[in-house]
Amino acid sequence: MRGSGTRRRDAVPGYVLTSGRSDTPSELGWGLETLLKPTCSPHPLPPDAGSRGHRQLLRECGAGVTSVVEAAAQLGRPVSVARVLAGDLVASGHLTVPAPRRPEQNHEPSIELLQEVLDGLRNKEFA
């Protein structure tokens, strides 16, 4: 018996959506936090990436950036299925994975920002 808050899952098993594959085509080693960003590809989905799962994933990504784990949750599928579908869409040019910022590219916060945080903490009454 299902709880009232559970989402109805699609009757199609994940291995059918991924054609039995369990790894991404590019073997990038994506983590749960890997971001997926839709492109403005004018090309139609290729035949091997034209499943309902691929179309659902593109819809879920919409015009924004979505993480792999968020996409899996929105699809109601395991992360492994979302990775395979996303890998197909990256390979076909419909999704892109923005490069993560390297630590040397991160800028240290300004002294002004740190001072504002410190002042805010000092003024905060903790219960």
- Domain ranges in the chain are 14-123
Question: Which pLDDT belongs to residue 35?
Answer: 87
Asked if residues 68 and 31 have their Cβ atoms less than 8 Å apart, the reply is: yes
Asked if residues 35 and 64 have their Cβ atoms less than 8 Å apart, the reply is: no
The upper half-sphere exposure of residue 52, i.e. CA atoms within 13 Å in the direction of its Cβ, equals: 10
Question: Tell me: the pLDDT tens digits for 29-78?
Answer: 777 888 898 887 666 766 655 677 888 888 877 768 888 899 899 888 88
Entry pTM = 0.63
Question: Tell me: the pLDDT tens digits for 8-21?
Answer: 456 777 767 776 77
The string over 31-52, giving b where at least 16 C-beta atoms fall within 10 Å of a residue's C-beta and e elsewhere, is: eeebbbebeeeeeebeeebebe
pLDDT grade for 27, boundaries at 50, 70 and 90: low
Flag whether pLDDT at 2 surpasses 60: no
